[in-house]
Amino acid sequence: MPAAAVLLGTLALFALGYRFYSVYLAKRVYALEPSFVTPAHAYNDGVDFVPTNKHIVLAHHFISVAGAAPIVGPAIAVFWGWGPALLWVVLGTVFAAGAHDFGSIAVSVRHKGRSIGTLAGDVISRRARVLFLLIIFFLVTMVNAVFAIVVAGLLEQHPEAVLPTALTLPLAIAVGQIVYRRRTPALVPSLVALVLLYSCIPLGQLLPLTLDPVAEATGISTTVLWILVLFLYAYIASRLPVWMLLQPRDYINQHQMVVALVVIAAGVLVGMNTIAAPLLREDVPADSPSIFPLLFVTIACGAVSGFHSLVASGTTSKQVEKEPDSRYVGYMAALGEGSLALASILACTAGVMLFSGNQGMEWSGLYATWEDAGADPQGMFVDGVAGFAGNLGLPEDTAQVFGALIIVSFAVTTLDTAVRLKRYILQEMSLLAADRFETGSTANRAFRGFSRNLNITTLVAVALPFGLAMVPGDFALGTLWVLFGTTNQLTAGLALAVIAVWVAKRRRNPVMILVPLVFLLFMTVWALVEQLLGFIDTGSALDVFLLAPLDSVILLLALWMIVESFLALRGTFKGTADPIDPSAETDQVAVEGSTVVGSGKGTPETGSGDSTARERREEEK
């Protein structure tokens, strides 16, 4: 099959999904209203709640959710053939991710910009809020552990990419200072920074940086040292104001994402190469995991990802200027993520065979076993990008650094964003625990003190995934990746449950939300049970005493949350649950420019619905 035909056909399906299905969701399911006063206007504080142009909001949201996962997941899943992987990416993106990402923003906008965990308490039940927060806690822990391992492996394999990666930080800080201090648009400074970043690639090739001498001196492996460096960076970066590093790096990565997709697409069209992998693999080794349900949790981001609901309801919803912008931002970002997954599939099934080190080999030799598929998926992508870039005349070694820089940039952005989100979750859980004790009691003061201590909460947020990343063995991108994907898909299913109950309570038809909801929950629970039995069956101490209990806890939380969601839906359909009054979803105030005129309710501290909003604003200031 020509890779160009797959590329153009998939992009055409994505375009049709946006043109027709997203419009159906906006009108018939979510019922967006242009006159609705969004939280960005109602609670405009210039820090978290800021009415923002939809194109800028899309850039923020897309870059925040586009990490290494839509690259690594498909790079592993093509083990079963490119057909099933592509089919799940297309269907998952158009019908599941589009509804999930779009809906997460829409529901949050209608509920004062509250996070998805808080919304579970508002829409389903108070218990659901705690359950959802716990599931999100496990998800973010595994996101950080997996991404740190992926980036550490790339920096170890490609020391030429270390210097350009390191120079990204001062470039981003410089852009942040220019934009924030001088109040200038970010476009020109971030484009200049991108040019300087790419001009550093030859410098990185001349001065490859490695931690091997430190590893030899200390007796610690190079991978472990890189993981240490990455978590130290994540601790510091997550404590900085967002305008200083996070936002300007998003500006730069936004352009880098466009450049990467253009290079891959141009390489596919110019080379007119064929896909070397089989459509559906028939010679799957007998000891390999079954395609059902593993395909649907191996590819999470790029098809549908629960992590997106955290960003959608955590920061994006607070910047939406007009309610109909939710469709553009949410659905278009899902299509962008699907496009990145498509690029990964093509790179690992066609581009990788153009790489000089693989020429003359059979594709099946690269994916001989399931262990091979999970051993170095990011390396497969880098080689595939180098192969396509070679069609454009770019030297192979330079193209490899370019490909490694893509993954590292996106993954590092997600790494410190996830640490920041995890700190917020720890703070919220601490305040919930404090409320269970009498005001002024020792326990109450202890939990509240923990929530206010940003150094300790950030340290805990970093320490837990670091410990998971340090678990010995080669399970990181095999077992751990699938466990991460399962929890991610579970979170997506539960976010869809919140959206479905909300849609039903507004007397709208939730069928188009319930279909992906039931499918995701069925596949993730199936995968959790299958993994649990597999961990127990191995008999190893690692599986029995760490991974099996972790899997069991996530499974029990999932089943409990499913029951809570079912009861809420049943009550809604039977009419025993109160329907949602749209006028009560957020304060309906007249807005003139960016100044709230009318109701004085819902100050930024109380209106956001986030229990740690004031602490966050004080920290960012």
Number of folded domains that form the chain: 1
Q: How many Cβ atoms from other residues are within 10 Å of residue 403's Cβ? A: 30
- The single residue listed with the structure tokens 């806890």 is 553
At 607 the pLDDT is: 35
At 341, which amino acid appears?
A
At 29 the pLDDT is: 96
At 479 the pLDDT is: 67
Give the tokens for residue 423.
């700190």
Give the tokens for residue 419.
């640490």
- Asked whether residue 243 is assigned to any structural domain, the reply reads yes
Burial of 422 (0-12, 13-18, 19+ CB in 10 A): buried
At 614 the pLDDT is: 44
- Asked whether residue 485 is assigned to any structural domain, the reply reads yes
Domain span at residue 317 reads 3-357+367-620
- Asked whether residue 362 is assigned to any structural domain, the reply reads no
Cα 224 to Cα 156: distance, rounded to the nearest angstrom? 10
Q: How many Cβ atoms from other residues are within 10 Å of residue 180's Cβ? A: 15
At 254 the pLDDT is: 82
Instruction: Going from the first residue of the chain to its last (621 residues), give the mean pLDDT of each consecutive group of 10, the final group possibly shorter.
Output: 95 97 96 94 83 85 83 94 97 96 96 88 84 87 87 91 92 90 86 93 93 93 93 90 81 87 94 94 89 92 92 89 96 95 96 87 91 88 93 92 89 84 87 90 94 92 90 60 85 92 91 94 93 86 84 90 87 66 46 33 35 44 42
At 478 the pLDDT is: 58
Reported as half-sphere exposure (CB side, CA atoms, 13 A), residue 366 has a value of 30
Q: Are 384 and 378 in contact (CB under 8 A)?
A: no
At 456 the pLDDT is: 94
- Asked whether residue 150 is assigned to any structural domain, the reply reads yes
Give the tokens for residue 255.
């352009």
Give the tokens for residue 69.
């996962």
pTM for the structure as a whole: 0.86
DSSP classification of residue 539: -
Query: Which of 315, 318, 319, 321 lies closest to 591, judged by CA?
Result: 321
- Asked whether residue 389 is assigned to any structural domain, the reply reads yes
CATH number at residue 527: 1.20.1740.10
Which stretch of DSSP H or E encloses residue 282? Answer: none
- Asked whether residue 316 is assigned to any structural domain, the reply reads yes
C-alpha separations of 25 from 14, 106, 222 in Å: 15, 11, 49
At 53 the pLDDT is: 85
At 124 the pLDDT is: 86
Q: How many Cβ atoms from other residues are within 10 Å of residue 443's Cβ? A: 12
